[in-house]
Structure formats: C-alpha cells, structure tokens
Amino acid sequence: HVTTKPPPEPSPLRKAKFFQANMRILVTGGAGFIGSHLVDKLMQNEKNEVIVVDNYFTGSKDNLSQWIGHPRFELKRHDITEPLLIEVDQIYHLACPASPIFYKYNPVKTIKTNVIGTLNMLGLAKRVGARILLTSTSEVYGDPLVHPQDETYWGNVNPIGVRSCYDEGKRVAETLMFDYHRQHGIEIRIARIFNTYGPRMNIDDGRVVSNFIAQAIRDEPLTVQLPGTQTRSFCYVSDMVDGLIRLMEGDNAGPINIGNPGEFTMLELAETVKEMINPAVKIITVENTPDDPRQRKPDITKAKELLGWEPKVKLRDGLPLMEDDFRKRIGIPRK
C-alpha cells in the first residue's frame, strides 16, 4: 500500500481563484473618461467580472449607465484615499483627476489620491496577489529637454509649481509601484499616457480638444493659449484602451509610453477644428498658465516592440466621433 504525499494546499483565496471561471477586475476611476471606455472593452469579454470604484469627483455614473444592473458588473462609491477590502485578480488603477483645472482645484487632494490612493491599491494588490496597472502620465517628463520623449528620459519637472501635485504625484506613484514590486514581488504595469481625447470627456474640463470642440459647436472663439506654437500629440480613446489592455496582459512591467506620435501645434489644432466643425468660427489667442510644457510627443518604439501596439485612429478621424458626442450632450445638432 503506497501513499503519496499530496501537494501543499494553496491558500483559500488561491484555491478559489483556481476554480473561479471569471477574471475579477477592479477599475479605479472607472466612471471617468478613459476608465469608462476601458470598462466597455473589458465587459465585452464574458469571462470578466468588472468592479468600478469611483468618488465621482470628475467622473459620472452616466458614463456607465449601460452596465448598471448587469450581473458581471458592480459600481461602488469609494474614495481610494481610504483603504479598500475586496478580492480581485487584476487592478487597473486610473483614479485621479486628469484635467489641469480639476487637479489644481484641490491640489492637496490630488497628491493624496496619487500617493495614499496608490499605496492603498498596492496594499490591496499585495494582500490578494493581484496584478496592478498604473496609468501614469507624460507629465512625468515635465517640460521635456529631449524630444520625442522615450521611457529612459527622467524628466524636467518643477517640484514646487502649480502642476506638481499631479506630475510629482504621479512620479511618486511610479516609485511606489516599483518599490512594491522589488520589496514585495507585486506584479506591476506602468503606462505613461499621452494626451487622450474622445467621447465622454467632460465638456468644460478645460482641456484643449474638449475646449475647441465645445467652442466650435457653440460658435464661440477658439481660445489658443500663447504662444500657440506649443505642441501635443493626441491619442483617440479606443487606441488608448487597446494599449492599456495589451500592457496588462503582456509580460513587461514598463514604464511604457502609450500615445499617438502625430504632433500638432495648438494653432494647427485650432485650424483643424475650425475647418472640420465650424469654418465661420474665430480663433483668438489668450494668456497661458504657468509651467505649460512647450512640446510633447511620445516615442512609442517600446510599445510597438513589446506590445505589438500602435494607434490606428488619426486625429481627423477621431474628431468627428467626439463632435457627435459633444453635439448630443450640448444639444446643438449638425446644421
């Protein structure tokens, strides 16, 4: 009579996970612009259960109305600066206001969200053994002295400026991610997101694409902030979501730039919006805000090589999709 020793018992959580058919995914900030599009994509996979936590500071339940009541979906009002106890397999950590007017509105809260909020999500990832993805930002490069920016560049950031709550906050969040990875073996992914646009952006959030489109629809002058020669690169939200999921599912921790390398000056963007949406609209120049980066364009070599990802939607194809959504919400149909 031979007895073989059984393998060691996995922890109850691991055991449960082994038999669990569904992948349980937490999206922090899932009621926001990028988060809600990410939820749409994740929900398309019937193996996913999606839990959103959001404090609705800049996000809205309206962005998720299509999923409320769905058996694989759960929405929880929660502020991530408070601890969170749930059981999940993956965490997409997006919660943080992204528009300068909102993140500057309560800068101390922005820092807390980035630092304490990220610490809590890492503590959660550690406790349940989940993989966690942070949506960092191109703002970690500050007003960059190299162009285009690749991930090896350490940035040129003002630590005491009005934007610092956001860009230094994200830099600390990245540091925390790597320290939890090195110290506790947490599986991490870091995306450095460049300017993203698309439907569901807050209409009056002050960002340039949303401002210009709303202004063109309302027949108000397009406000180009001086000098107007500063550049940005705009990624359509479906491309962004695709990049984030590839990063989460891939083997590389990052940081990896995710953005569209097509670079435009703000004057060029205004001309394009004018031509496409309202040729009669005026373009005016107005004062800028402090520490505005003069140029920004992602080097996406790493995303191409490691994730097989590159953006597909050109600015001229994405703008009309956003215009449709803005016209519906503002209540001014195309003439």
Give the residue numbers marked as catalytic: 166
**Residues 89-126, buried b or exposed e (16+ Cβ, 10 A)?**
bbbbbbbbbbbbebbbeeeebbbbbbbebbbbbbbbbe
Whole-angstrom Cα distance, residue 240 to residue 260? 9
Task: Tell me if 264 contacts ligand NAD by CB under 6 A.
Answer: no
- Listed residue (193, 207, 202) closest to 239, CA to CA: 193
Instruction: Output the smallest distance, CB 329 to ligand UDP, in A.
Output: 18
DSSP string, 132-153: EEEEEEGGGGBS-SSSSB-TT-
Nearer to ligand NAD, 234 or 278 (CB): 234
Q: Which CB sits closer to ligand NAD, 95 or 216?
A: 95
Residue 167 is encoded by which pair of tokens?
A: 């860009």
238 binds ligand NAD (CB under 6 A): no
Residue nearer to ligand UDP on the CB measure, 68 or 286: 286
Q: How far is the CB of 4 from ligand UDP (least distance, A)?
A: 36
* Site mask for ligand NAD (CB under 6 A), range 137-156, x = bound: x-------------------
Q: How far apart are CA 154 and CA 222, in angstroms?
A: 34
298 near ligand NAD, judged by CB under 6 A:
no
Question: 26 or 281, CB closer to ligand NAD?
Answer: 26
Return the range that interacts with ligand NAD (CB under 6 A); candidates 25-33, 121-129, 225-233, 315-323.
Answer: 25-33
CB of 198 to ligand NAD, least distance (A): 9
With CB under 6 A as the contact rule, the residue among 48, 58, 149, 230 that binds ligand NAD is 58
Interatomic CA distance for residues 187 and 252, integer angstroms = 10
Selected from 25, 35, 300, 307, the binder of ligand NAD by CB under 6 A is 35
Q: 239: part of which helix (H) or strand (E)?
A: helix 237-249
Q: Residues 31, 67: contact at Cβ < 8 Å?
A: no
Phi and psi for 133 in degrees, rounded to 5?
-115, 125
If we measure between CA atoms, which residue out of 296, 273, 261 comes closest to residue 221?
Answer: 273
The first and second tokens of residue 271, run together, are 């001309």
Size, binding site for ligand NAD by CB under 6 A:
27
- Sites of contact with ligand UDP (CB under 6 A): 83-85, 100, 119-120, 123-124, 126-127, 195, 206-208, 211, 223-225, 230, 232, 266, 288, 292
List residues binding ligand NAD (CB under 6 A). 29, 31-35, 54-59, 79-81, 94-98, 113, 117, 135, 137, 193, 195-196
